[in-house]
Chain A
Amino acid sequence: MSPVLAASLRVLIAVGLMMANGVMMIYMLRKVLGHLHLRYGPLHVGWHGLLQTPLDVVKLLTKEDVTPRAVDRWLFRLAPLAVFVPSLMAYAALPFGPGWSIVSLDTGLLYTFAVLSLVPIGLLMAGWASANKWSLLGGMRAAAQQIAYEVPLLLSVLPVVLIAGTMSLGGIVDAQQGLWLGVLPRWFVLNPLGLVAFALFVVAGLVESNQTPFDMSEAESELVTGFATEYSAMKFGLLFLSEFSNQFILSAIGVTVFFGGWMLPWIPVEWYAEIPVLPAAVFIFKVYIGIFVMMWIRGTYPRVRVDRMMELGWKRLIPAGLALVLLTGFIQKAVM
């Protein structure tokens, strides 16, 4: 097969994965949040409301696409794409199994973060183009918080890069093979330094993916829906698809970097070669556990104030992250 065709097919696989994830996560969100709030969530369409989300997708696709008169036409049309494309690109380096990634990059971790750093630009574009004060405020908040937390997020995975000695996501998974003292799996979350790094990662990751304790950019109670207020039909669909997909990606990075990626504990690596689908299934299962925890946090905590959140990022998390990187470096040198 020609390399161009093969590459196109891989991109299509990523698109399919992203769509499937979106549908899956909307249903999951409704059910999980529902049960957390002592409600049932969707029940009537299909078994336990299973067909509700597919029907909603049809609704989004067939609804009228309204373009308000005052908007900046070009940017208004471009913004959903500017949000969607980086999210799609971020799937490229994720390792779904041994050698199972769309492209295998030596700098996979950096690549994923670099691509995700483009998302706030799209949100800012959506906010500005909408010609609506709430939208602009939402877009500005999204950009401000993602700029502030990009640094702690990168710093939180650096200790792992130092320990594993590689930035390739597949390489980081390989570095977590085997057992400590014959009992504990060598996952980085069970390493004392890794555990602190993971705590930083969770906070910074929740902010980066606009999750509820930190979803100031949408904040329904004050900004309607923030940057998405003026969007309708599938443009709105694309904005939200990419938000769900960013959650998937952050969870996938957490799983890869801290929880041993596609490996199950205590199962020797050779076994995975026997059952080809097992690693991918394990990986996706772990990712959804991560997403479930995010939703759990979303259903539990109230929204943080904007200034408090910015203070936490710049004044606490960045120094903490820097100190952790320094400490890891010293320990790494002392041990080696």
Chain B
Amino acid sequence: MSESVNGVVFFMLAFATIGGALMMLATRNVVHAAYWLLETMLATAGLYLLLSAEFLALVQVLVYAGAVSVLVLFVIMLTLRRRSDAIRPFEPGLGGAIVAALFLGAVYLALTRFVAPAVEMPATAPGVVEFGQIMFTEWALPFEIASLVLLVALVAAVWWSREGEDR
């Protein structure tokens, strides 16, 4: 019962993720593209949830969908001079074609060479408590380094955006 329900849900989410990504690329309207990106992020959170990664799914929603995409939308809406500027013409170029070809090659290589690691899955998915314990004991140092990097980026962004006076 629940197996087949999971299967149906997986296909719906997979369709939403890939379809959203395709639509993001296909649409000419930058605002619509930002919303398709958001839809892809939410569907990915759903996929995490399906894998019982509850915490990861929630953080994906809170950080990517809730904050990052709002920032993306903000930047788009603030930098558009006129409303009609939101619709961009389709301008294929040689550079774009080369990047696309390289990316396609890389994806092809990655897919053909990829060997799925045989990891033994635990019978029950570990919860937030286990996750927190491992995060702050075994992985404490990488975690702190990551937060330091983010802090540096944040301070730098504030410094850059500051105009004139004491810069």
Complex Cα–Cα for A105 and B55 (A): 11
Say which residue of A74, A111, A131, A143 sits within 8 Å of B70 (CB atoms).
A143
In this complex, the interface size class of chain A, counting residues with CB under 8 Å from chain B, is 20 to 34
Q: With A107-B128, A115-B61, A131-B83 in contact, is A75–B32 under 8 Å at CB?
A: yes
Complex Cα–Cα for A144 and B35 (A): 17
Let me know if A110 is at the binding interface, CB within 8 A.
Answer: yes
**Across the two chains, which residue of chain A brings its CB closest to B76?**
A128
Complex Cα–Cα for A168 and B74 (A): 33
Is the Cβ of B61 less than 8 Å from the Cβ of A124? no
Is the Cβ of B1 less than 8 Å from the Cβ of A3? yes
- Taking the closest CB of chain A, its distance from the CB of B149, in whole angstroms, is 19
Q: With A3-B2, A107-B55 in contact, is A150–B74 under 8 Å at CB?
A: no
Is the Cβ of B77 less than 8 Å from the Cβ of A140? yes
Is the Cβ of B58 less than 8 Å from the Cβ of A121? no
Is the Cβ of A120 less than 8 Å from the Cβ of B35? no
Q: How many residues of chain B are within 8 Å of chain A by beta carbon?
A: 28
Q: Total A-B pairs in contact (CB under 8 Å)?
A: 70
Is the Cβ of B54 less than 8 Å from the Cβ of A147? no
Complex Cα–Cα for A63 and B127 (A): 49
Let me know if A106 is at the binding interface, CB within 8 A.
Answer: yes
- Taking the closest CB of chain A, its distance from the CB of B5, in whole angstroms, is 6
Is the Cβ of B66 less than 8 Å from the Cβ of A125? no
B interface, by DSSP: helix, strand, loop or mixed? helix
Chain B residues within 8 Å of A118, by CB: 61, 65-66
- Taking the closest CB of chain A, its distance from the CB of B155, in whole angstroms, is 14
Chain B residues within 8 Å of A72, by CB: 29, 31
Is the Cβ of B128 less than 8 Å from the Cβ of A114? no
**Across the two chains, which residue of chain B brings its CB closest to A123?**
B70
Chain A residues within 8 Å of B61, by CB: 114-115, 117-118
Binary flags per residue of A110-143, CB closer than 8 Å to B gives 1, else 0: 1101110110110011001001000010001001
Let me know if A2 is at the binding interface, CB within 8 A.
Answer: yes
Is the Cβ of A106 less than 8 Å from the Cβ of B77? no
Let me know if B73 is at the binding interface, CB within 8 A.
Answer: yes
Chain B residues within 8 Å of A140, by CB: 74, 77-78
Chain B residues within 8 Å of A128, by CB: 31, 73, 77
- Taking the closest CB of chain B, its distance from the CB of A288, in whole angstroms, is 28
Chain B residues within 8 Å of A114, by CB: 58-59, 61-62, 66
Q: With A75-B32, A111-B58, A117-B67 in contact, is A106–B127 under 8 Å at CB?
A: yes
Among B62, B71, B129, chain A packs the most CB atoms within 10 A around the CB of B62
Is the Cβ of B31 less than 8 Å from the Cβ of A106? no
Q: With A75-B31, A75-B35, A107-B128 in contact, is A121–B54 under 8 Å at CB?
A: no
